[in-house]
A and B are shown apart, each in its own frame.
Chain A
Amino acid sequence: MGKRARRGAEGGCNGALSRRQALIAWGFCLPFVLVFGVFMLVPLLSSMGMSFTDITSRDLRTPFNVNIVGFDNYVTLLTDPRFHKALLTTAIFVIVGLPITIAIAMAFAVALNKGLKHLNAFFRAVFYAPVVASVVAVSVVWRYILQDDGLLNSLLAVFGIDGPDWLHDTRFALPALMIMTIWRNMGTLMIIFLAGLQAIPTELKEAAAVDGAGKWRTFTSITLPLMKPTILLGAVLISVAYLQFFEESFVMTQGGPLDSTLSAAYYVYQQFGFGRYGIASAASWVLFIIIAVVSVLQFRILGSDE
């Protein structure tokens, strides 16, 4: 480095100078490149490599026992009914959960977009709180709400309804977790939608009012179409999060009962726990491809005329 710098100074020619500048630029980038390379790229690529081998936890001491098996892991996966079930559960989770989350977040955003300033700031904070709360901490509360003699069922009992044992019933465990996930993710979307709503000029709404549109008509004909880019952003963010649905299953049901809350990400985690690294890697790459495809599809569909 010192030698190069001296040469640049002595020669004074442009080539050396720009080379030196490039070197300095790389120097500034180095910390990021190193961190990204070591902690992101290496695991990413090695997991891809692992997905084509039969590596298990036993092979860690005897790395030479690892064999390349081609697409065997992927074949195993695609014929495993549990993986199918995990994918189906994840799909249901996204297809049902995403629209509900968007609708609720939009409703809150619209409600908080007008009205009293101080009260709104308070409610914004309240609705955003679940996003920042630790899932482990809130799981305690939710378990208390959802257990057989919990808050929810006591409430239902008041109306004479005999509520199910939410977390231990195969029919209700997934909806229960869905509600909890929606509650946790709604705040993020709400803040994004609020920002989007505030970017819509009041003049347009006034023009619509003068044109004879009522509140609902103005919302569907003016506000929603203008919110499309914002909704697209929110939909992609949330569907990526939901496709990786894991934490709620992990802390509340461990994928049960009878795999009814077994998500794709939880399946990966389980395979990893069983020491089947090859299968786990393959499953996570399948999930990765699904996420990529879903995101591209959303941009295609929602962003069609831009």
Chain B
Amino acid sequence: MAEVVFDHVTRIYPGNDKPSVDDLNLDIKDGEFLVLVGPSGCGKSTTLRMLAGLEEVNKGRILIGGKDVTTMQPKDRDIAMVFQNYALYPHMTVADNMGFALKIAGTPKDEIRKRVEKAAEILDLTEYLDRKPKALSGGQRQRVAMGRAIVREPKVFLMDEPLSNLDAKLRVQTRTQIAALQRQLGVTTLYVTHDQTEALTMGDRIAVIKLGILQQVGAPTELYDRPANVFVAGFIGSPSMNINTHPVINGQAKIGEDTIDLPREAVAKLTAEDNGQIIVGFRPEDADLAVADDPNAFSLKVVNVEDLGSDGYIYGNIITDGSAAEASTMMSDQNKLTTVRVNPRALPKIGDTVKIKIDPTKMHLFAPSTELRLN
């Protein structure tokens, strides 16, 4: 049993006045693979290092397997960590690197050898056991760092962006391997990354964090289908969600010259602070081309099209007053253009004006004042 609990955990670095991790409440279930994701500098490493005991906790408690470890030394916590730069001991061979923790724990020599060899087999490192880390490639070093963690059979694995030093192809390969390995070993894992694709593909659950504050925790599909706020909506998913603020007129959103229907209960939740506006988000795959006189669609001036063979994407500006306006567009990363996935066999041309209809069940609505979800 090794459930991990963060209980109102706060970390303020000496010399900073704002907390780097602010009042974090998070449960990681026994055997779960939880991915902590967020933009650079949001406090992911800090969270991980507090769990490892490498960083002091200013407020709150951390529990591993029901035991309060808040003030415990790292060596007493029974955790294993994979560092971003691997932190392999340069003066030791691969085998010694992997066996170091066991040696300290006083494990008998042949037992250490057996476990190291078994781990090496799993990670395909057998032929490198006698080499020093500097004679290994980046991918091999990464596997040694993994090996060092798994021979321990610890209560918890901690991984801080373990794939960020690998090239794109190896990264995709390794992330599948790590996820499979974790499921096989069943060890509770906290995995840090800033890459939302990694988060979506690897995690049982994902915790999104921004500026030290936890935004949402949930299964990948949950975060993808029902993001709790504008930040999560924009952060999760690639290509990212189209998110724009629009005026609400008679319970309808005015998008450019057109109006589209909004669910009544969502509109009812808008308050005076929202100034009669609403944030509408939709994923590129949740909209499609519509016929010219569809009353529930908006016009888009196409400025770019992409044909990927399996998918087609159109990028465009919403038309206001007959001209393409960019002012009302925000938060989507395709150069502030609205992105829609379409059938690649029926791509419009650049310069065309097309009608776009959003799937009403897949629309994400947020209040401009709080940026929280309405529907």
Q: What is the interface of chain A, defined by CB distance below 8 A to chain B?
A: 201, 203-204, 206-214, 217, 221-222, 225-226, 228
Contact = CB atoms under 8 A, between A and B. Distances in A.
Contacts of B152: 211
B371 to A, nearest CB: 37
Nearest to A225: B91
Given A207-B87, A208-B89, A208-B100, 4 more contacts: A209-B75, A212-B75, A212-B104, A213-B100
Nearest to A213: B104
Interface string B34-75: 000000000000000000111000000000000000000111
In the complex, the 3 A-B pairs of residues with the closest C-beta atoms, listed nearest first = A211-B101, A207-B87, A203-B87
B186 interface: no
Contact of B54 (A206, A213, A226): A206
B75 A203 contact: no
Nearest to B81: A210
Contact of A206 (B80, B87, B100, B105): B87
A210 B80 contact: yes
A209 B87 contact: no
Contact of B101 (A203, A212, A214, A226): A212
Nearest to A201: B87
Which among A201, A221, A228 has the highest number of chain B CB atoms within 10 Å?
Answer: A221
Nearest to A217: B104
Contacts of A204: 87, 89-90
Contacts of B75: 209-214
Nearest to A211: B101
A219 to B, nearest CB: 13
B85 interface: yes
Nearest to B148: A211
B83 interface: yes
Contacts of A203: 83, 85, 87
A203 to B, nearest CB: 4
Interface string B83-110: 1010111110000000011001100000
Contacts of A209: 53-54, 73-75
A226 B105 CA distance: 22
B156 to A, nearest CB: 11
10 contacts: A203-B85, A206-B54, A206-B81, A207-B81, A207-B83, A207-B88, A209-B75, A210-B52, A211-B101, A211-B104
Which among A203, A209, A211 has the highest number of chain B CB atoms within 10 Å?
Answer: A211
Contact of A221 (B85, B100, B105, B158): B100
A192 B87 CA distance: 24
B54 A211 contact: no
